[in-house]
Amino acid sequence: MTRPKLNRLLVMFAVFVLPFTTLMQAQTYTDIHDFNEADGCCASYPSMLAQGRDGNVYGATTSGGVNFYGNIFKMTPSGTLTSIHSFDLTHGGYPQGGISMGTDGNFYGTTYQGGVNHFGTIFKITPSGTFTEVYDFTNTTDGAYPKVPPVQAQDGSFYGVTNNGTIAVLYQLTTAGVFTVMTNLAAQSYSPLLLGVDGNLYGTTLTGGTFNAGTVFQFSPTSKTLKTIFNFHTESSPHGPLMQGADGVLYGTTASGGTSSGGVVFKLTTAGTYKVLFNFSTSSHANGATPYSGLVQGSDKFLYGVTSSGGANNLGVLFKINTTGTGFAVLHDFDTATGDTPLSTPLLHTNGKIYGMSSHGGAHVPYGTVYSLDASLKSFTIPVVRKSAKVGTSIGMLGQGFHSATGVLFGAGGGTFTVSNDTYLTAKIVAGATTGLITVQEPSGNLLTLQNFKISPSISGFTPPNGPVGTQVVITGTALLQATAVKFGGVAATAFTVNSDTQVTATVPTGAKTGKISVVTPGGTANSAASFTVN
């Protein structure tokens, strides 16, 4: 071979092969822990994992542990696992849903069985392992056999759903331990509730609805109302939790149905507009099938998830897909040696890595594994529970490198902070904050949230208290800088000026009615306490 030909081949290798090698290196799957009988076994769905203030990953196994009724563990991001509680059935057993973290830094979950009445429990556990049984289900009006952990809402209370029993319900649990049934559900629910950016809770039922194929519902903690926003039909059995993307749209999976009977990935607006992004196939297994878990969205805006079957080994795949339904790719084919049949919903850690559990396989078959996926996603920061807040509110933030943080911005500004440790800080919203991404400023590179955080506006007063059409009214308050509309008794002002973050001047419009003044911003709507009188 002549040297010119050899050089051309080397160039072709560099152009085509090296980028492919880089791409492969950018998607690194690692089996970081192999479960054994002592530390737990066999993660069921949805087996939610949670990131703690200390940066560790916390979760639960369905069985195994000292008493064989399940275990709660903490694990370092590199895979060092420590058991912090073993269930004894007397205080609950067989936790299937995993855990969620509250604003107090503690974790909350449910057990499928056990407790005083043998119908399951709600529990709280500290990061150090102090366990408290909070509620025992009775299988009467409160339902039974809860499969998922409760989640905390904007009002501070926890909300959850029961699986089945006499009746399926959506309940509220206050931080003081007061349990209240909010409403009955169309059918049992296998998915944890999602706190949306609008403050509402979103969830699914496995069956029920118009076609008895499952539903997506919205619950308002404020008005205590339940609304079905979608009825599944040709797709069915939504087992996994919903996820809200950076675009505000809900994303999820069904375990069956679709054009190829293997389940689907779907998107759904909060107004109910539905679209299937991808159909899994039970006959052609290459892309996986039967996803029982939910999705996460990385900094690249791709959705990441797993299927429980299909793939090269018919033991499930780890995949990614664009929110438009394009760019589907299998990133890993699960196998018995490093964990198979994943049922657990993945967790996106603020370090940018994805963590999850397999229900089988590993070095101690059949106990399963914990895995990580390094997809070269950016590290980020995330507020604990809260999606919106007013000026003056303190927000807990998860992330890393906080000891070197130099500032916190809410949108365009307005934040002070106190560092608790390298992976947790508290940021206070101050004047000048705007709706937008939260930024933690660090010398090594800023950390941003993946979703906009809403700064809720407020009105403290207005002057004059009355006047005819054409009157100039000065409205004072907080977080008014992004005002997009001003209304008098529900009628929009055709002219208004944003003077500052604390003041807006508006002209009383033709047709204005005596009533509250409201100012609309991307962070929400502020209403005056008093009414403006139109003379």
Low-confidence winner among 15-19, 77-81, 352-356 (lowest mean pLDDT): 15-19
Question: In the 8-state DSSP scheme, what is residue 234?
Answer: S
Give the residue with greater pLDDT, 11 vs 69: 69
E strand segments, 452-514: 454-456, 458-463, 466-467, 472-478, 485-488, 491-492, 496-500, 503-507
Could you tell me the domains of the chain? Answer: 234-378 (2.120.10.30), 382-454 (2.60.40), 457-534 (2.60.40.10)
Q: What is the mean pLDDT of the chain?
A: 94
Answer whether residue 364 shows pLDDT above 70. yes
pLDDT band at 165 (very low <50, low <70, confident <90, very high): low
463: left (phi over 0), alpha (psi -120 to 50) or beta: beta
Confidence band of 201 (pLDDT split at 50, 70, 90)? very high
DSSP structure string for 54-119: TS-EEEEESBBSTTSB-EEEEE-TT--EEEEEE--BTTBB---SBEEE-TTS-EEEEESBBSTTSB
Contact 156, 221 (CB under 8 A): no
Q: Is the pLDDT of residue 8 over 90?
A: no
Cα angle 256, 261, 265 (rounded to 5 degrees) comes to 60
Which segments within 334-387 are labelled E, that is strand? 347-348, 354-358, 369-374, 382-383
Over residues 439-493, the pLDDT tens digits come to: 999 999 999 999 999 999 999 999 999 999 999 999 999 999 999 999 999 999 9
Distance CA 532, CA 178 (A): 40
Distance in angstroms (rounded) separating the CA atoms of residues 432 and 410: 8
pLDDT at 458: 98
pLDDT tens sequence across 336-363: 999 999 999 999 999 999 999 999 999 9
Per-residue pLDDT tens digits for 412-433: 998 999 999 999 999 999 999 9
Per-residue pLDDT of 21-31, as tens digits, reads 334 446 899 99
pLDDT mean over 241-255:
98
The answer on pLDDT for 507 being more than 70 is: yes
Bridge partners (DSSP) of residue 261 are: 281
Gyration radius (Cα) of the chain, Å: 25
Matching residue, tokens 């603020």: 350
The answer to whether residue 285 scores a pLDDT higher than 90 is: no
pLDDT at 6 over 80: no
Mean pLDDT across 49-56:
98
Residue 2 has pLDDT above 70, yes or no: no
Name the token pair of 105.
């830094």
Residues 6 or more apart from 530 whose CB is under 8 A from it?
461, 462, 465, 516
Q: Does this model's pTM top 0.75? A: yes
Contact at 8 Å (CB) between 357 and 336?
Answer: no
Q: What percent of the chain clears pLDDT 90, i.e. is strictly above it? A: 91
